[in-house]
Structure formats: structure tokens, C-alpha cells
Amino acid sequence: MSDKVLMKGAEALAEGAIQAGCRYYFGYPITPQNETPEYMSRRLPEVGGRFVQAESEVASINMVYGAACAGVRVMTSSSSPGISLMQEGISYISGSNVPCVVMNAMRGGPGLGNIAPAQADYFQAVKGGGNGDYKRIVFAPSSIQEGVDLFVDAFELADKYRMVVMVIVDGLIGQMMEPVEFKTRIDVSTLKTPEWATVGRHGRDHANIITSLTLDAAGLEQWNLKLQAKYAQVELTESRIEEYQMDDADYAIIAYGTMARIAKTTIRIARAKGIKLGLLRPITVWPFPAKQIQTYVGKLKGTLTVELAYRQLFEDVQLALCGKIPLGWYGRGGGVVPGPQEILAAFEEQFGKGR
């Protein structure tokens, strides 16, 4: 047990980012993830990095944009309203083909809402958000340990594909404490400055220019086609899912993050009652693991999508299964997190006793 430490999620995720080679953090306080910037403000100077408290989330994401252009591992984090303010910046970063990581500790909405756990920024993260056609890889860890581990992948994939990677959690993961182990440590001295980075020419035979502007429509379309080709590649290779007790399952709950975790308890209770329930847990919500879920067509009698939102994840499930399996839905809003029993009740209401 000696390698495990008991940490708050928001701090553990920050340390996870540092272990993944992140040395620059720009952010603005917002509950429920204040411990992330606070931790960064203590730790980054210790590891030769820099923490900057920006004047706003708009400034944060644009500072991230600048640092990303310099080819370093950089991140910001915030919660729902703050992430809304970053949408223009995220669109610019995506349109400029530079990498960064953005964490959203989602809270109750819309508007100011409250600081309780929610998953209602799903659409924003995977569909809309900023302007134009762009995608970000979106990881949705369901435990602190998984979040810490995924941060390594987040930075690796951001660099590999030169794109924004989002990590979406909720206040519950951010605020809770669990033992966590830091398994991978990226040695930042091995990270090379990419050749496209704007770090000064220093003898390079040409100037590097990073922009999301292409005035000519044909040129911008070509640029978009490049981005689309990249996204298609990512869709093909990077979607991930956890399949829990699916071997003999008659029914599956489809849920991610905190809800998936609570659903595991539901499944335990259901199985004790003789209902063969399993869990399909998207680890990436974009790319959505549609292929993996589709393998259950013909095997399942039904799925229940469970989310802390109103039919957002559900749309992706609909797109994936398109009426080929009966689709149930159960969602809560405003920061209310249903317990395992409530989920079971919803299941039984929609699918009877599961026979």
C-alpha cells in the first residue's frame, strides 16, 4: 500500500497532470475544482513549471493557447460556466491544430445553477460548444485513479493528434478522497519541442506561424478536410469502453463517470435479485464507443441510459443503437445524484423485473 496516497480528486488529478508532463497551468477559481489550481500553485513551481492565475476563463484559455503554440504540455480546468466562457478559445485552439488539455468539473446548471455534481455539459463537450466543425477527445473517468491514469493518455493523445483533449468529471469526483497511485511519470526532459512550435526561429530557415484564419474559402475547406480526416482517424482508433458484468447480461446500463460508478452498486443489487444486468461505460465519450456497444445488438433485451442530465448521452446511445435494442432512459438534474436503488427502481419501472 505504500505507493498509495489518500487525496482529494481535484488534487490527485492535478498531480496526475504533472506526472503526465504538464508544467504549465492557467486557470481561474471556480467551485467544485478550486483544489486543482490551488494544488498547481503549490506544486508547479517545485517541478520547474509555472502556475498563472488568469483574470478570467477567457484569459485562461487564451494563455493556454499561447503556451500550446510554444509546444509545451499545458492545461486549464474549470467548471461549467467557466467552460462556457472558453468556447471561443477552444474553437481557436482546435482550428489552429495545437494540443492542450481542458478539465471540466461539471456542476448543476443551466446558468449559475449550483455546485452539485452534474453531467449536463455533455453536449457542449462532445457536440457543440464553440463555433465551427471541430472535435475534442473527451475522457470521462469514473474514479480518481482512472482520472489520474487517463491524464497521461490525455496529454499523449493531445500531442499525437494536435488537438484539444477534455477530461470531464463532476464535483463528486473532484471533491471526494480515495487512495490513488501515480504509476506513470513522464520525464519532461524527453519531450521534444515540436517543429511547428512558435518558440522563436533560433536559426530555423523559416518562420513558424500558427493561425486559425484562412480567408480563402477553398483553402479553409481544405484545412477543414484535414481536420476531419484526423477526427476520422481518432474515431477509428481511440474510442474506449469498460464492459462490466456483460458476459451474461440480459440488460445493460449505459452510463459514464460518477453515474457509472453508482450504477455498479445497482448492478450488484440487481444481480442479487436475479436480474442479469451489466454496465457499458464509455471511457471516451468522444469518440463515442458506438462500435463496441453495437456488438451487443441481438444479445441484449434492453439498455437503460443513466445520466445526470436530460437525454444528452442518450442521443449518442440512440445514434449507436438506432432502435435495434429497446432503449430506456433515466436522468436526474440540478445536482441531484440518484442512489443505486433509485436507478434500480427506474430500471424495473421501464423493463419490469428484468426477465
Partner 1 sequence: MAEQMKVIYERPRSWANKVTHYCPGCTHGVAHRLVAELVDEMGLVDKTIGVWPVGCAVLGYDYFNFDSVEAAHGRAPAMATGIKVTNPDNFVFTYQGDGDLASIGMAEIVHAAARGWPITVIFINNGNYGMTGGQMAPTTLLGQKTTTSPLGRTPQANGFPIRVAEMLAQLDGPAYIARVSLDSPVNIRKAKSAMRKAFNAQVRGIGFSLVECLSTCPTNWKLTPVESMERVRKEVMPYFPLGEFKVVEGVL
Partner 2 sequence: MEHNVVIAGFGGQGVMLIGELLARAGMEEGKEVTWLPSYGPEQRGGTANCAVVVADEPIASPLLTEPQAAIVFNRQSFDKFEPAIEKGGLLVIDSTLIDRKASRADLDVVYIPATDIATELGNSKFTNMVLLGAYLGKVNPISIASVHGALSVFLTGKKAALIEVNKKALQAGVDFVNKK
Residue 80 engages a second copy in binding (rule: CB under 8 A): yes
* Residue nearer to a second copy on the CB measure, 112 or 177: 112
Number of residues that bind partner 2 (CB under 8 A): 23
- CA atoms of 166 and 58, how far apart (whole Å): 16
Shortest spacing between CB 80 and a second copy, in angstroms = 3
Q: Which stretch binds a second copy (CB under 8 A): 47-55, 269-277, 278-286, 327-335?
A: 327-335
Backbone angles phi, psi at 89, to 5 degrees: -60, -40
User: What is the secondary structure of 21-69 as a DSSP string?
Assistant: T--EEEE---TT-THHHHHHHHHHHHTT-EEEE-SSHHHHHHHHHHHHH
Binding at 66: pick from a second copy, partner 2, ligand TPP, none (beta carbon under 5-8 Å per type): none
- Residues 334-353 contacting a second copy, CB under 8 A: 334-337
Question: In terms of Cα–Cα distance, which of 156, 138, 159 is closest to 312?
Answer: 138
- CA atoms of 203 and 223, how far apart (whole Å): 28
Shortest spacing between CB 8 and partner 2, in angstroms = 9
Binding at 208: pick from ligand TPP, partner 2, partner 1, none (beta carbon under 5-8 Å per type): partner 1
286, 125 contact by CB (below 8 A): yes
Residue 333 engages a second copy in binding (rule: CB under 8 A): yes
Shortest spacing between CB 121 and partner 1, in angstroms = 16
* Residue nearer to partner 2 on the CB measure, 183 or 204: 183
The amino acid sitting at 169 is: V
CB-neighbour burial class of residue 178 (10 A; exposed 0-12, middle 13-18, buried 19+): middle
Binding at 194: pick from partner 2, a second copy, ligand TPP, none (beta carbon under 5-8 Å per type): none
List of residues contacting partner 2 (CB under 8 A): 1, 4, 6, 172, 175-179, 215, 258, 261-265, 268, 337-342
